Amino acid sequence: MHAVCLTLPTNRACADTITTVGAEAAHAARTFGVRVHLLVLDSADPADRARHAAAVAALPPTEGVVTHHLDEDAQRAFLREVIERTAHPDPDRLLDLMLPDAVSYGACTNRAFLLAAALGCASVHRRDSDSRYQWHDGAPVFPIDHELATIGLKAADAAAAVTEHTLDPADADKPVALVGASFIGELSVDLGEIRALDPDVYHDLVALWAPTGATEQERRELVADSFTGAGTDPFTVDRAVLGRPDIWRIDMCNIALDHEVYERVPLPPATDTIGSDYFLHHLVHDATLPGVTHNRHIVNYYTPERRTDSGFTAYQERYAKFLLSMLYLHPVYSEMERAGDALLDEHHHVRPGVIADSARRSATTDRAENHRRLAELDRCYRQLGGKYAEFADHLAPRRAQLLDRAQADIEDFALLIDAWGPLVRASRTAPADRLQGQGQSGGSGRARDA
């Protein structure tokens, strides 16, 4: 039976989300006749993890759905075995990149990719703990309907399952590598209060992630397009477009990726950095692989933790590090865009060595632009005053460390790409029986992944 992985990584209380994602898994199994591995990767604290285990255990048994609830001990045991099978010369460093002692949006999804390989899955479908499904005509609007209708199919064959296409005939024989939509509701980053307080400061803060040398018009367009998702209009009727995916309208809470992509190139394992899980969006688009952009948008909301003082500080620091990461990612994006379908081999498979080499070159980029970003961040936060000025005081003594970490992150990404092929192969041959069965949990759970 065709197997897919529907994954929910979490570091916070989300029992209700587990219930609703479980309903999507059951719907997928019944509708498409696939085996759905519902994979909850749990880094929450022990009390929340226990509630998650109860939510998993309460899911109605459904033919074709196998649920896996893995805490960090279980994930670590799996990773250690897989890494040992690769005979990597620095296994501890590799383990740290896969399961770091800090929040990493890329690392949690990379773990899902390897576990999906171990379970024999053809695609990974990711949801997030701070999201809900829309409802229409008394039923939830599940994104997986569009995802399973097209992911992995030859683009020419997927055309019958969409409402329109902009497919280049030259891409008709390539597989659909990505299917996704966006969100409605609150901004995807915690900058909404800044936008309300001072739109000019909001513009300056968001424009900081533009490439070096961007024009003012390009910066304004970037600000207008950033973090707003699909706005607030609710779902009324399906729309799905096949072609080059609209990566500005696809979010990681609402995405499916084909194994031929994620089994060749991982996500950057950067810690404490928002947006570190969006690299494959760019890779699929720039490599001219087809995708489907649909409108079954997730409902985004902010969890209570983000409204706390500690949550505010942590999130703003992740935003700062995101801006610094752009110094190294923009050159890689530019090289991928110039390369186009030269990123693919004759079988339409991504060539990972090209990406790793680009990341290594990028690591040597002069830091002057990041010094400017940090100075501008400081100015903006102090102009806002109050807790934002206090955050500027918090950030100031950490500048040198943040600059070093941003460069180390791109170097780690290159290292992980080099190791990724052996990791995937080792995962495929790792015994998966320990991952089978409903409601597996236990052990420790430090908060790591959102």
Neighbours of 411 (CB within 10 A): 15
- How far CA 207 is from CA of 223, 323, 383, in Å, comes to 6, 9, 16
Residues 159 and 165: beta-carbon distance below 8 Å: yes
Sign of the four-CA dihedral 161, 166, 170, 176: negative
- For residue 60, the 8-state DSSP code is P
CB 261 within 8 A of CB 350: yes
Provide the 3-class DSSP secondary structure of residue 161. helix
Q: Are 56 and 34 in contact (CB under 8 A)?
A: no
Instruction: Determine contact, residues 250/182, Cβ cutoff 8 Å.
Output: yes
Give φ, ψ of 208 to 5 degrees. Answer: -65, -15
- Provide the residue-wise pLDDT of the chain in tens; the chain has 450 residues: 799 999 999 999 999 999 999 999 999 999 999 999 999 999 999 999 999 999 999 999 999 999 999 999 999 999 999 999 999 999 999 999 999 999 999 999 999 999 999 999 999 999 999 889 999 999 999 999 999 999 999 999 999 999 999 999 999 999 999 999 999 987 777 788 899 999 999 999 999 999 988 999 999 999 998 888 888 889 999 999 999 999 999 999 999 999 999 999 999 999 999 999 999 999 999 999 999 999 999 998 766 655 677 788 998 999 999 999 999 999 999 999 999 999 999 999 999 999 999 999 999 999 999 999 999 999 999 999 999 999 999 999 999 999 999 999 999 999 999 999 999 999 999 776 667 545 333 332 222 333
* pTM score, whole prediction: 0.95
Structure confidence at residue 311 (pLDDT):
83
Give the number of other CB atoms < 10 A from CB of residue 37.
Answer: 26
Q: Are 239 and 258 in contact (CB under 8 A)?
A: no
Per-residue pLDDT, 447: 28
In the numeric block, the tokens 């024989």 are attached to: 173
Burial 198-225 (b: 16+ CB within 10 A, else e): beebbbbbbbbbbbeeeeeeebeebbee
The phi, psi pair for 175, rounded to 5°, reads: -75, 150
Q: What is the DSSP letter of 163?
A: S
Q: Do strands 240-243 and 131-133 pair parallel, antiparallel, or not at all (unpaired)? A: unpaired
8 Å CB contact between 265 and 352 = yes
Query: What's residue 434's pLDDT?
Result: 64
Task: Give the integer Cα–Cα distance in Å for 147 and 256.
Answer: 6
Identify the DSSP state of 204.
H
* Cα–Cα distance measured from residue 355 to residue 359, given in angstroms and rounded to the nearest whole number: 6
Nearest Cα neighbor of 163 from 290, 292, 31 is 292
Determine the angle formed by the axes of helices 309-339 and 386-395, rounding to 10 degrees. 70
Torsion of CA 393, 397, 402, 405, to 10 degrees: -150
Residue 183's DSSP bridge partners are: 298
Q: Report yes or no: 269 and 107 within 8 Å, Cβ to Cβ.
A: yes
pLDDT at residue 303 in the model: 61
Token look-up 């509630």 returns: 51
